[in-house]
Amino acid sequence: MAEGSNLHLGLKQAREFVGLSLEEAALLLGVAPEVLAAYEDGKRNPPLRLVAKAARLYGVSENALYNPNQHPKTSNLKIIICRSEDLEEDC
């Protein structure tokens, strides 16, 4: 993993925030749970296509996964509110 990268934290935080178990997320992402665990622990670097797929699955931007201090919670919360209440276009 690149020096200073927090991708592993972003992957785990986003998965937990949307309420998926490691096994569920791994199945949806098309990888073994052990592989996803290695990505979340920072032991392996995920391929870019998996990062893109995870971002779509978790409803966050790829940037939010790389920078979890912008936390995916904010992005997810906005998506949930906008979809559930059909708020104005600036959602």
pLDDT reading at 35 higher than 90: yes
pLDDT bin (cut points 50, 70, 90) of residue 73 is low
Q: d(Cα 79, Cα 59) in Å, to the nearest integer? A: 8
The 3-state DSSP class for residue 84 equals: helix
Whole-structure pTM value: 0.73
Structural domains of the chain ordered from first start: 7-85 (1.10.260.40)
Q: d(Cα 8, Cα 59) in Å, to the nearest integer? A: 17
Please name the amino acid found at residue 26: A
Question: Of 63, 68, 53, which is closest to residue 12 (Cα–Cα)?
Answer: 68
Q: What is the pLDDT of residue 82?
A: 43
